[in-house]
């Protein structure tokens, strides 16, 4: 781009010389006239606005361009054009200096606006490149590190979005945002999204930087391609269990496990590599930390109605990692059937259904044969009583692995690679 611009600036100067040669070869008036901008001066001003340069560079280029006006006259005099008086030449060429000064002012204004735009799109060491999505609490952008050739995803909350809410709601959003970053930074599982940076920009924008994932979340996976093969469901859920177990052993409960927060991606040479996202509702399962980590008003239900555990609704017991296993069971149900566990028209009815109603087994709604072992595991996760669910995410992972070994055709990396190359080619 810099070379192209330099060629453009050379064109500006040469074009000014050509315009001067064409215009100045015609006879000048014999008497003084009211001075005005010459065609060369007009060309200089128009080009400066259309192709702005840095102020110092623009000053030099524009001086060269307007100098082509008297230079063209000198070349024409060498060819026999009558020599005009000094006063006539001064009246002819002096307004070109005005074009240079106005061009310099225009360049400084444009350059200043460009700098403001660049600064507005800069967060720490990262430059925002493309908006990937937005939600009720913030935006997610594709970003590029200034020094490293490593793309990233930046999640941010701007002061403007906080200003639209009351003070209490704004504080809750900020605390939730900070807790998400802090919780994610504690986790070591390769199946938890990596956090690179966290901070506040000079204008008050809260942001954190995480790895940019190449793939699709499990919500869109089913919406685009339909229900997932049982062996692939086992493969995906086992990886989610790895991330959740890491959180649970550190006393953290995700509380918003759902297909949209589970991302299947390419990770190096691996396909269908699951990453768990969005720990914004994370809460400590340790009794001594419970009060300090509550981020919602009393009586407010946190989580997604289609995937919420009964104990999070009824609040009869301390919520622990088994609430996430219930939600993960709902995810497995969604992957197998393409349907929610409870299809209700209102969120509150859906919440009450999770608290009171027994789900229909997946095989009756999937339209395909669901292996009995897998169906049993899903239904065990969906037990109303946490005591009836697997004791931990690691135990659930082991149960799924055992069920997977009974299948005639397991989900392999070769099958995953073929699926991705056929359906989601790398950009």
| Residues with active-site annotation | 256
Burial degree of 8 (CB within 10 A; 0-12, 13-18, 19+) = middle
Q: Of the candidates 200, 215, 191, 210, which has an alpha carbon nearest to the alpha carbon of residue 152?
A: 210
**C-beta of residue 185 within 8 angstroms of C-beta of residue 198:** yes
DSSP-derived secondary structure letter, 118? H
**C-beta of residue 143 within 8 angstroms of C-beta of residue 205:** no
CA distances from 427 to 215, 313, 420, 423 (A): 10, 42, 12, 12
Pairing of strands 206-211, 252-253: unpaired
Crossing angle between the packed helical segments 2-24 and 39-50, to the nearest 10 degrees: 160
DSSP-derived secondary structure letter, 317? S
Question: Taking phi first (over 0 means left), then psi (-120 to 50 degrees means alpha), and beta for anything else, what does residue 262 get?
Answer: beta
Start-to-end CA distance of the chain, whole Å, equals 24
DSSP-derived secondary structure letter, 391? S
- Radius of gyration for the alpha carbons in the chain, expressed in angstroms and rounded: 33
As a whole number of angstroms, the distance between CA 293 and CA 285 comes to 10
Q: Of the candidates 18, 12, 7, 4, which has an alpha carbon nearest to the alpha carbon of residue 107?
A: 12
As a whole number of angstroms, the distance between CA 167 and CA 30 comes to 76
**C-beta of residue 221 within 8 angstroms of C-beta of residue 228:** yes
Reduce the DSSP state of residue 214 to 3 states and report it: strand
Reduce the DSSP state of residue 229 to 3 states and report it: coil
């Amino acid at each position: 781009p810099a070379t192209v611009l330099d060629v453009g600036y050379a064109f500006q100067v040469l074009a000014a010389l050509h315009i001067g040669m064409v215009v100045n070869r015609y006879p000048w008036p014999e008497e003084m006239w009211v001075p005005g901008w010459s065609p060369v001066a007009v060309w200089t001003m128009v080009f400066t606005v259309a192709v702005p340069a840095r102020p110092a560079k623009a000053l030099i280029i524009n001086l060269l361009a307007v100098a082509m006006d008297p230079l063209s006259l000198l070349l024409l005099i060498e060819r026999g054009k009558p020599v005009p008086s000094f006063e006539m030449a001064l009246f002819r060429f002096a307004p070109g200096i005005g074009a240079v000064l106005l061009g310099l002012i225009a360049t400084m204004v444009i350059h200043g606006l460009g700098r403001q735009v660049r600064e507005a799109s800069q967060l720490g060491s990262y430059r925002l490149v493309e908006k990937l999505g937005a939600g009720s609490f913030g935006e997610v952008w594709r970003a590029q590190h200034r020094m490293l050739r490593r793309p990233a995803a930046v999640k941010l909350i701007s002061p403007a979005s906080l200003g639209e809410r009351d003070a209490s709601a704004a504080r809750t959003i900020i605390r939730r945002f900070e807790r998400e970053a802090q919780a994610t930074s504690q986790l070591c599982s390769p199946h938890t999204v990596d956090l690179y940076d966290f901070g506040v920009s000079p204008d008050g924008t809260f942001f954190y930087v995480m790895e940019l994932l190449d793939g699709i979340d499990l919500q869109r996976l089913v919406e685009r391609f339909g229900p997932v093969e049982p062996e692939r469901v086992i493969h995906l859920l086992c990886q989610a269990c790895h991330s959740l177990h890491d959180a649970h052993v550190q006393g953290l409960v995700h509380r918003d496990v759902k297909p949209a927060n589970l991302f299947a991606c390419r990770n190096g040479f691996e396909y269908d590599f699951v990453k768990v996202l969005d720990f914004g509702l994370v809460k400590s399962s340790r009794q001594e930390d419970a009060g300090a980590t509550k981020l919602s008003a009393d009586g407010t239900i946190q989580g997604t109605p289609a995937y919420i555990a009964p104990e999070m609704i009824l609040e009869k017991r301390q919520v622990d990692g088994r609430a996430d296993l219930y939600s993960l069971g709902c995810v497995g149900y969604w992957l197998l059937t393409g349907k929610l566990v409870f299809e209700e028209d209102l969120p509150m009815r859906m919440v009450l259904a999770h608290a009171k109603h027994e789900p229909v087994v997946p095989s009756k709604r999937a339209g395909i044969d669901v292996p009995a072992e897998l169906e049993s595991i899903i239904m065990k996760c969906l037990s109303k009583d946490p005591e009836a669910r697997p004791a931990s995410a690691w135990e659930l992972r082991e149960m799924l692995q055992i069920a997977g070994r009974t299948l005639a055709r397991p989900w392999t990396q070769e099958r995953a690679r073929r699926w991705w190359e056929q359906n989601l080619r790398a950009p």
